[in-house]
């Protein structure tokens, strides 16, 4: 005991929980054909909440990766050293199949189960989700080149995490990265200047720079470069089949706001060897298959971050008293927590619906494919944008403790904006909504068919749906369309989220969402649910324990 004071009125450590204690997640899993994966999701969720894994997350971030450009004799080696905790996180993610299981076992619900695993595990540590997600996403793009897919896909889908620079086809398992962004053009990849010259044996020689390439210790990368036919997608291994290192020179690692456990490099390709993937000159079309998958993971990752922040906020406020009562019982704090819970559930239910749409579109369902196209563009915009605001408010629920690294909240806070920036920053995602509407008229039909499932259930949802149709009518003026794109992406997401909550959540959550997000009665900050909202059941659902599910 301290000579001067006892410690009291501080929350106990939050550990030994399971991130799968999540009604919205488990209900979605069962509803959309992923019930067979529930036991594995629960096991992974329980592991994510252990003290051991929390410690991996802390140390992987506290000891960020270090670039070793040369060995002691001056030879280039271009290696990145990671803390052992990074490798433990990666190994656990790969063993659980988050990086590619649906490609190895094309079972109904496989993408949904994988999404649920990614969601529960990302709550432990988000940084390593980047290479896990890119490996998952590389497979559909690689399939544009069947002979490469035949050789590499089984290794990308392998559940063995086999780290180290060796010829990829001799390894037990592979990790993939993506190398598109250049100094002069990120969103606008057509501005890429990296060149690809045919070598005459089917391979190409790549010369140029990439301004951002994350997870540079990956085994293979999908790279965009200008071939004689135009922008083309290539598969580039870190190590060539003869065991020599490909000429990918890591110039430096980015000093990033967050995502610090992960490495993001600037790379020079100095006549590096790569093989074309898909039709030469159609590189954007090929790599967009990858980008669409990583965009889904941005939505899932944002939902995971919200859930993790909410859990911390609920835990702290349940154990902290101020002005004579637990914070969680103070009316205004209840409004904040309930509002955070509503946002978190809306993000989760949408993320899982999009994952289910992926399953069905992979099985050939055109309407689900169209729904996914539009829903993902809009959701990438809105859910990822809400992530940062949600993290800030959840952090504040812990007061000063939330601002201190030991709480883990700064990590969530730093990570959140990244999910909105990469794989299409806010404006680019919103403009992608316009593109989806222009190029895939079926997307809007699929969207309204989905939303229509909840028609008549809540007048505020019906009114918001009608307003959305009016907004869509304004797009016929080309001068206005871009100005309205963000508003449109927001409304498309809110109406879809509202319809899903009305159909699948509890009346209290659906009511709180419709009253605030779809009605006019909502402030701009969290904690502004209108008076009369039944906060108790919203909080009870957010606090539900596994045993009662």
Ligand X SMILES: Cc1cc2nc3c(=O)[nH]c(=O)nc-3n(C[C@H](O)[C@H](O)[C@H](O)COP(=O)(O)OP(=O)(O)OC[C@H]3O[C@@H](n4cnc5c(N)ncnc54)[C@H](O)[C@@H]3O)c2cc1C
> Segment near ligand X (CB under 6 A), from 184-192, 243-251, 317-325, 404-412?
184-192
When the beta carbons of 342 and 428 are compared against ligand X, the nearer one is 428
Q: What are phi and psi of 518, to 5 degrees?
A: -110, -25
**Cβ closest to ligand X, residue 359 vs residue 415:** 415
- Inter-residue contact 300 to 114 (CB < 8 Å): no
When binding is defined by CB under 6 A, the residue of 103, 118, 204, 422 that contacts ligand X is 422
Nearer to ligand X, 187 or 195 (CB): 187
Which position among 421, 457, 475, 481 is part of the footprint of ligand X (CB under 6 A)?
Answer: 421
Closest approach, Cβ 302 to ligand X, in A, equals 15
213 binds ligand X (CB under 6 A): yes
Kindly state whether residue 426 participates in binding ligand X, applying the rule CB under 6 A: yes
DSSP 8-state assignment for residue 516: I
Terminus-to-terminus CA distance in the chain, angstroms?
Answer: 40
Q: Give the closest residue to 191 by CA, choosing from 235, 224, 221, 222.
A: 224
- Minimum CB separation of residue 290 from ligand X in Å reads 10
Distances (CA, A) of 132 to 85, 355, 434: 15, 16, 29
Nearest residue (CB) to ligand X, 213 versus 497: 213
Nearer to ligand X, 469 or 487 (CB): 487
Helix or strand run (H / E) with residue 40: helix 38-48
Nearest CB to ligand X, comparing residues 136 and 526:
136
What's the Rg (C-alpha) of the chain?
23
**Do the Cβ atoms of 357 and 379 come closer than 8 Å?**
no
By C-beta, is 481 or 543 nearer to ligand X?
481
Judged by CB under 6 A, the residue of 19, 145, 192, 214 near ligand X is: 214
Distance, in Å, from the CA atom of 36 to the CA atom of 33, rounded to the nearest integer, reads: 8
Using CB under 6 A as the binding criterion, the count of chain residues that bind ligand X stands at 22
Q: Identify any residues that bridge with 375 across adjacent strands, giving them in sequence order.
A: none
Q: Give me the least distance between CB of 305 and ligand X, in Å please.
A: 15
- Cα–Cα distance between 429 and 294 in angstroms, integer? 13
| Piece of 1-9, 80-88, 231-239, 423-431 that binds ligand X (CB under 6 A) | 423-431
Residue window 390-419: x/- pattern of binding to ligand X, with contact defined by CB under 6 A: ----------------------------x-
Which residue has the closest beta carbon to ligand X? Answer: 186
422: helix, strand or coil: coil
Task: By CB under 6 A, tell whether 145 contacts ligand X.
Answer: no
User: Is there binding between residue 251 and ligand X (CB under 6 A)?
Assistant: no
Q: What angle do CA 293, 340, 130 make, to 5 degrees?
A: 25
Listed ranges 174-182, 280-288, 439-447, 495-503: which one lies at the site for ligand X (CB under 6 A): 174-182
Three-state secondary-structure class, residue 186? coil
SS3 content of the chain, % helix, strand, coil (to 5): 55, 15, 30
* Interface ranges with ligand X (CB under 6 A): 177-181, 186-188, 212-214, 256, 259, 264, 418, 421-422, 425-428, 431
């Amino acid at each position: 005991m301290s000579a001067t004071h006892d410690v009291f009125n501080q929350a106990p450590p939050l550990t030994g929980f399971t991130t799968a204690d999540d009604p919205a997640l488990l209900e979605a899993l069962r509803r959309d054909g992923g019930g067979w994966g529930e036991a594995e999701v629960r096991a992974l969720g329980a592991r994510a909440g252990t003290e051991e894994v929390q410690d991996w997350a802390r140390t992987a971030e506290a000891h960020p990766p270090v670039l070793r450009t040369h060995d002691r004799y001056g030879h280039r080696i271009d290696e990145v050293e990671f803390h052992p905790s990074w490798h433990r996180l990666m190994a656990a993610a790969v063993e659980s199949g988050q990086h590619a299981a649906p490609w190895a076992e094309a079972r109904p619900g496989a993408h949904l189960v994988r999404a649920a695993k990614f969601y529960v595990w990302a709550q432990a540590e988000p940084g390593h989700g980047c290479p896990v997600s890119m490996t998952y996403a590389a497979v559909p793009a690689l399939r544009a080149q069947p002979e490469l897919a035949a050789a590499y896909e089984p290794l990308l889908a392998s559940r063995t995490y086999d780290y180290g620079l060796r010829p990829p086809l001799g390894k037990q398992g592979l990790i993939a990265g993506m190398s598109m962004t250049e100094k002069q053009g990120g969103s606008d990849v057509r501005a890429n200047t990296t060149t690809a010259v045919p070598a005459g044996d089917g391979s190409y020689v790549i010369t140029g720079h990439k301004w951002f390439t994350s997870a540079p210790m990956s085994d293979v990368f999908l790279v965009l470069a200008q071939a004689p036919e135009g922008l083309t997608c290539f598969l580039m291994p870190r190590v060539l089949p003869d065991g020599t290192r490909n000429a990918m020179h890591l110039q430096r690692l980015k000093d990033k706001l967050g995502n610090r456990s992960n490495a993001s490099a600037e790379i020079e390709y100095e006549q590096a060897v790569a093989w074309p993937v898909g039709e030469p000159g159609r590189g954007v079309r090929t790599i967009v298959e990858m980008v669409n998958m990583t965009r889904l993971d941005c939505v899932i990752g944002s939902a995971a971050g919200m859930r993790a922040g909410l859990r911390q906020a609920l835990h702290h406020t349940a154990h902290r008293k101020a002005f004579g009562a637990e914070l969680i019982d103070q009316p205004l704090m209840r409004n904040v927590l309930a509002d955070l819970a509503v946002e978190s559930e809306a993000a989760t239910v949408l993320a899982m619906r999009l994952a289910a749409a992926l399953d069905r579109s992979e099985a050939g369902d055109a309407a689900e494919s169209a729904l996914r196209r539009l829903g993902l563009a809009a959701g990438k915009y809105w859910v990822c944008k809400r992530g940062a605001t949600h993290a800030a408010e959840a952090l504040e629920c812990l007061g000063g403790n939330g601002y201190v690294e030991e709480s883990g909240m700064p990590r969530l806070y730093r990570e959140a904006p990244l999910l909105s920036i990469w794989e299409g920053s806010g404006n680019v995602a919103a403009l992608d909504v316009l593109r989806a509407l222009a190029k895939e008229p079926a997307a809007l039909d699929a969207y309204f068919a989905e939303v229509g499932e909840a028609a008549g259930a809540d007048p505020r949802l019906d009114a918001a749906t009608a307003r959305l149709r009016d907004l869509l009518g304004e797009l016929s003026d080309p001068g206005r369309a871009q100005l309205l794109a963000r508003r449109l992406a927001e409304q498309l997401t809110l109406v879809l989220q509202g319809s899903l909550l009305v159909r699948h959540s509890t009346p209290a959550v659906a009511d709180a969402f419709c009253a605030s997000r779809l009605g006019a009665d909502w402030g701009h900050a969290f904690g502004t649910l209108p008076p009369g909202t039944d906060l108790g059941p919203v909080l009870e659902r957010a606090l539900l324990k596994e045993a009662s599910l």
